[in-house]
Amino acid sequence: TDTRVFRGFYNTDDNTGDLIAQLIDFETNTVVEEPVFSAAELLDQRTADSRVIVTFDPTTRRGIPFRHAELNPLQQAVITADQVDYLRGVRDLERPLGDFRERPGLSGLLGDVINSEPVFVGGPSFSRRDRLEFPTADGDLYSSFQNAFASRPGVVYVGANDGMLHAFDAESGVERFAFLPDRMLRTGEGDANAVTELTEPLYEHFFYVDGQPAVGDVFIDPAGGISRQWRSVLIGTYRAGGKGLFALDVTNPAAVTNEAAAAATVLWEFTDDDDTYPVVPST
């Protein structure tokens, strides 16, 4: 951004990661070494229940809270309630108290950030979109959308190999919400790596949400039958974690204060299961 550098990290010894923010010294044009925040350290201060984490229900095709009781029956069949709690950050389920893989006591909850570079999203910043190839009716101008969300809070989005796309507040580093795709839950299907492997005591590294997210402002029909309008949409991928894409509406992060609101940001998830291959032409 104009004032900060956001950097993702990974630790190959314990399969953890971090997102840090550093200030820019404009007198020397250098980056200040001391971080403004460490997102991994801040996650240590959160209880598992207080975190806002959602997933996708492929049956209803809607976002749902990532809590075992909220999952659909197919999802509940492949992941236990304890595994869900572990992924949310419950530490009592780790060895030696529990049966699951022990994570580092400090900064151990955020997965490694390898190929998913952090993406900062502040106010809408695309230019030259009030031209004829874009909507020009009153109320549909991109400049109207820019003005309406000019002061929206900055958020840094990054995928991690804990199976989640994380949204961190760009000022404080606090996790606003996280999205764990349904594709990460379906064990052994296609080329996807099952996120339940993270609970195994002998876990060896897998890739999960390791693709580079992209954010753009698009003129679409949002959910809920509202007429077409400008929205900021994030597209996420898995890279080596599996085949597929997902989309989140990241237009108004200030409104995402609970899991119901976070679930409403989930637009869709598209996987290789949705794309029959090879394609047979119709006759």
Q: In DSSP terms, which residues pair with 247 in a beta bridge? A: 235, 268
Residue 84 pLDDT more than 90? yes
Alpha-carbon span 121 to 21, nearest angstrom? 14
Position 260 scores a pLDDT of 98
The two three-digit tokens of residue 59, written as one number: 């049956």
Residue 250 pLDDT more than 60? yes
**pTM for the whole structure:** 0.94
278 preceded by a cis bond (ω within 30 of 0) = yes
Position 279 scores a pLDDT of 64
Residue 161 contacts residue 209 (beta carbons within 8 Å): yes
* pLDDT tens-digit series, residues 50-79: 999 999 999 999 999 999 999 999 999 999
Would strands 53-57 and 175-179 be described as parallel, antiparallel, or unpaired?
parallel
